[in-house]
Structure 1
Amino acid sequence: MDKDIPMRSFMQQFFDDETIADKAAEIGQAMLAARSLQLTEIAVKMRGSSAASYKRIQRFLRGIDPRAMLWRLFCEQAEYVMGDPTEIERPQARKTEYVGTLKDGKTKGFWMLLLATPYRGRAIPCGLLTYSSRTIGAGLSSRNLNHVRAFAELKDLLGERPLVLDREFSYLELLLHLVEEGVNFVFRLNQGSHPPKFWDADGKEVVLSLSPGEKVSHSALWYKGKVCVNLIGVWKKGLAEPLWVMTNLEPERAWQIYLSRMKIEQTFRDLKGLLGMTRLMNKRQENMEKMLALLLLVYAIALLVGENLRDRLYGLPTHPQERVDLVPHQIGKKWRRYSGLFILLNQKRRLPTREWQAIINCALQSFAAIVHPPVPTHV
């Protein structure tokens, strides 16, 4: 049995139109085979001539916008939502309008801000936005305005869930916006070379300090005198500096939530290392974002299938929060060593057809539950 995913079954859950679902399935299957976002490399893996396949991809991009539909992957059962930008290098794209200069001031590229919900050591994407130094300059915009625009689209889905962000987001303008919108937040504090100042309710400045191995929390401090927040700091032994988390939640809960934010970093590594996210050549930003959104959809499908495959091959984990409804095998170290996506794409394991079908059915049920969450009723 080859580890082929019946992409059409998943795409029919995602797209309401069967014709569109068929087209998306063909392109998505080719993406997995090519491990690339270059249209020419994807077209080679599709049926028919590569020239005709290339045109089919272009027609699909003109008629469908997967970016808006990506919100259908928002998991209603998620405890929190993560956001983080990642750099995508385009060193040869000197004349591409959406490509600017990255953080080092030299390398050509742009940023993708990804929004996602956690899933078993990885994350399921539900939204994206791209920007660069060039698009910011051309649109008289800013990085901060792009952040606000991305989170504004997420607001109605968040509810009471906190938004979990890294330290580049811990700036006053964004905090003021989130407080105004009633959004819960968990940020890593950016202390940098000029640490922000905090004051207590009596107007006395509070200096953040702790020793290696120590944990300290503060409640109801005023960040830059403008926003009331709670803080928790932990200095783990062996690290060069402490980590401070700023939130409007209870500090200990915020700390536990932030610790699992690394899921989104693992997802970036999978997208770049296993699915070739950086291998894109689109000249127009709109088409580039559509291809990224389609890749994120394919990634989510492959992730669900891969995790079920991992459980079948290497057994269920011992922690209750990591359990899934599958028949357990003897637990081995390889379950923790490999991600499901890595096993799916890189390992040459073979399973009986019946076993593989059980894996697909379980993944399809999980995917359908995300895309079509049950509607709450009030009796």
Structure 2
Amino acid sequence: MDKYIPMRSFMEEFFDDEITATKAAEIGQAMLVARSLRLTEIAGKMRGGSAASYKRIQRFLQKVDPRAMLWRLFCEQAEYVIGAPTEIERPQAWKTEYVGTLKDGKTRGFWVLLLATPYRGRALPCGLLTYSSKTIAADRSSRNVNHVRAFAGLKDLLGERPLVLDREFSYLELLLNLVEEGVNFVIRLNLGHHPPRFWDAEGREVVLSLAPGEKVIHPSVWYKGKVCVNLIGVWKKGLAEPLWVMSNLEPERAWQVYLWRMKIEETFRDLKGLLGMTRLMNKRQENMEKMVAMLLLVYAIALLIGEGLRDRLYGSPNQLQENVDVVLHKTGKKWRRYSGLFILLKQKWWLPPREWQSIVKEALASFVAIVRPTVLTHV
């Protein structure tokens, strides 16, 4: 890192006591430098010997549970909440208790289900849950049970905001639970080998059919005859298949909200490619989840700083709209091409110390506004 990030200032706003914040800041700073979740690699970037640093991380994990505090990153100004799982491959982890097999039935690994609010083309994580085929078998549960458990923890924070989900969540059991809990939802349909069936108010089956370039809306139809939803389908030209979305919101709004869901895919890309989310070797699931939670916290801090840096180097969207000369037009392309985190971690850049300090100060103010909002949360 070419520029110093006062990690402790951020951690003091997140954690409740200075000692914990100081320890978290040391680990977080080392994570950002190591760009890995392996304890040995993080310890190697901490002060003192690697062995002593490794033990400090272990003691921190025993005393602190950052998983339970991630909800503090919930942005009260968010219009919606995204939920999405991502696969973490662990091909060599034959003896790790929480590692099973992934969707292909062969590759070893597990899933991280992330909950997040949107932020400037990326997403701010505010909750996580992990599971695998092995943990599901051990708990005698199911993937569906894990989904419901994850969303239940965020229910009070959602309010009227919709929960935006992809097609792996397109199943009746979850839909019934969301309706019972009074949660607004926007879910893409899974049109695989057994596509869902819908009926209109007169009992006629709704045919999910449209042509390339066409948009079709079916209001107030019954999903599998049990849940009333609004259905919208769009087949954009150039795509191999149409995209269908069901929701209890107005169809056009549901469609727009779903399109914004890609923010979390970009976040997964940053977490894995820039911060080494897949580079973890914890033997216990609890410690693994705690380290992932710490990484999500560090990611949120780096994202806020990186976005300020992107605006300073390449011009903010407002500046670009006000000045349309050729130089700023070219600069605008760079602003759109790179994420703030990529610029912060990967690009070579230089700013006068006063400008860098101003960026960090603004990022800290944004962080404080998120973790200590003036609006009361229902928790």
| TM-score strictly above 0.5 | yes
Secondary structure at the aligned position of 2:240 is classed as coil
Amino acid aligned to 1:342? F
The equivalent of 1:19 in structure 2 is 19
C-alpha distance in structure 2 between counterparts of 1:344 and 1:373, whole Å: 26
Give 3-state SS (helix, strand or coil) of 1:41's partner. Answer: helix
TM-score, normalised via structure 1 length:
0.96
Unaligned runs of 5+ in 1: 324-328
State the match for 2:221 in structure 1.
221
Percent of counterpart pairs with the same letter?
82
Q: Which deviations, in whole Å up to 9, do the C-alpha atoms of 1:187-239 show, x marking residues without a partner? A: 00111112111111111111111100001111100000000000110000011
C-alpha separation in 2, matches of 1:2 and 1:222 = 57
CA distance, structure 1, for counterparts of residue 275 and residue 63 of structure 2: 24
Cα RMSD, aligned residues only:
1.6
Whole-Å Cα distance in 1 between the matches of residues 55 and 328 of structure 2? Answer: 48
- In structure 2, stretches of 5+ residues that fail to align are none
Match of 2:358 in 1: 358
Match of 2:151 in 1: 151
Determine the C-alpha separation between the residues in 1 that align with 2:259 and 2:318. Answer: 20
Partner of 2:50: 50
**1:282 offset after TM fit, Å?**
0.2
Moved over 3 A (4+): none
How far apart, CA to CA, are the structure 2 residues paired with 1:376 and 1:156? 12
Matches within 5 A, 1:1-379: 2-318=2-318, 330=328, 332=331, 333-375=333-375
1:221 to 1:280, Cα distance in 2 relative to 1, 3 A: same
Separation in structure 2 between the aligned mates of residue 319 and residue 161 of structure 1, nearest angstrom: 30
1:193–1:261 CA distance, 2 compared to 1 (3 A): same
| 2:111/2:131 contact within 8 Å kept | yes
- Tell me the residue number matched to 1:326: none
One-letter code of the match for 1:134? K
Q: Which amino acid aligns with 1:84?
A: A
Equivalent residues, number: 371
- 1:15-63 per-residue CA deviation (whole Å, 9 max, x = no partner) reads 1101100000000000000000000000010000010000000000000
Q: CA deviation at 1:2?
A: 2.9
| Structure 2 CA distance for aligned equivalents of residues 63 and 375 of structure 1 | 30
Provide the secondary structure at the position in 2 that maps to 1:369.
Answer: helix
Supply the AA of the counterpart residue of 1:74: F
| Displacement after TM superposition at 1:376 (Å) | 5.7
Residues 12, 18 of structure 2: 8 Å contact kept = yes
Q: Does the residue aligned with 1:88 lie in a helix, a strand or coil? A: strand
Q: Aligned-pair distance for 1:375? A: 2.9
Instruction: State how far apart, in whole Å, the 1-side matches of 2:52 and 2:185 are.
Output: 48
**2:281 counterpart letter in structure 1:** M
Q: Which amino acid aligns with 1:30?
A: A
Give a deviation string over 1:291-332, Cα, whole Å, max 9, x none.
Answer: 000000000000000000000000011599x99xxxxx9451
- Once residues 169 and 319 of structure 2 are traced to their aligned partners in structure 1, the CA distance between those partners, rounded to angstroms, is 32
* CA-CA distance at 1:350 after TM superposition: 1.0
**Which amino acid letter does the alignment assign opposite residue 5 of structure 1?**
I
